[in-house]
Amino acid sequence: MRSCATGSTVTEPIFTSARFTDAATLADAEPHHFEQAYTAVTQPCPWPKAYGGDLVAAAAAAAIRSISDGKTLHSLHSYFLRPAEVGAIIRYEVERLRDGRRFSTRTVRAFQNDKPIFAAMAGFAAEDPDAAAYRGEMTVTVPDPDELPSAADYLEKRCGGAMTPAWKSYWSGERSFDMRHVPEPVYLRVEGIQRAQQAVWIKPFDALRPIPGLDDDHSALVALAYVCDYTILEPVLRVLGYPWADPRLSTASLDHAMWFHRRRPVDDWLLYTQSAVAADGGRGVGQGRFYTREGIHLATVVQEGLISMAEDHAPPVEI
Least confident of 92-101, 130-139, 230-239: 130-139
For residue 267, what is the DSSP state?
Answer: S
Closest CA to 253 of 280, 234, 267, 238: 234
- Cα separations in angstroms, 87 against 47, 114, 299, 319: 12, 16, 29, 32
Closest CA to 79 of 303, 314, 307, 316: 303
Percent of the chain having pLDDT more than 90?
88
User: How far apart are the C-alpha atoms of 35 and 317, rounded to whole Å?
Assistant: 53
Q: How far is CA 247 from the centre of its chain?
A: 22
Mean per-residue pLDDT, 99-121: 97
Whether cis (ω within 30° of 0) applies to the bond prior to 265 is no
Mean per-residue pLDDT, 268-295: 97
Q: How far is CA 195 from the centre of its chain?
A: 22
- Cα separations in angstroms, 271 against 80, 93, 146, 260, 299: 26, 33, 13, 15, 11
- Residue 3's pLDDT band, with cuts at 50, 70 and 90, is very low
| Partners of residue 308 on adjacent β-strands | 250
Closest CA to 153 of 178, 182, 189: 178
Closest CA to 262 of 101, 134, 141: 134
Q: According to DSSP H, which parts of 200-260 are helical? A: 216-227, 234-240
Higher per-residue confidence, 247 vs 14 = 247
- Residue 317's pLDDT band, with cuts at 50, 70 and 90, is very low
User: How far apart are the C-alpha atoms of 12 and 247, rounded to whole Å?
Assistant: 24
* pLDDT mean across residues, the chain: 93
Residue 84 has pLDDT above 80, yes or no: yes
pLDDT of residue 5: 53
Mean per-residue pLDDT, 26-32: 96
pLDDT of residue 10: 55
Q: How many other C-beta atoms can be found within 10 angstroms of the C-beta atom of residue 205?
A: 20
b (16+ CB within 10 A) / e for 120-143: bbbbbeeeeeeeeeeeeebeeebe
pLDDT of residue 2: 40
Residue 7 has pLDDT above 60, yes or no: no
Helix (H, G, I), strand (E, B) or coil at 95: strand
Residue 316 has pLDDT above 50, yes or no: no
Residue 52 has pLDDT above 50, yes or no: yes
Instruction: Compute the CA torsion angle 246, 247, 253, 259 (nearest 10 deg).
Output: 20
Closest CA to 169 of 13, 286, 10: 13
Q: What is the pLDDT of residues 113-149, one digit of tens each?
A: 999 999 999 999 999 988 999 988 888 899 999 999 9
**pTM (2 d.p.):** 0.93
pLDDT of residue 78: 98
- Residue 176's pLDDT band, with cuts at 50, 70 and 90, is very high
User: How far apart are the C-alpha atoms of 257 and 254, rounded to whole Å?
Assistant: 11
Mean per-residue pLDDT, 195-216: 97
pLDDT of residue 138: 87
Q: What is the pLDDT of residues 289-301, one digit of tens each?
A: 999 999 999 999 9
pLDDT of residue 4: 61
Mean per-residue pLDDT, 149-154: 96
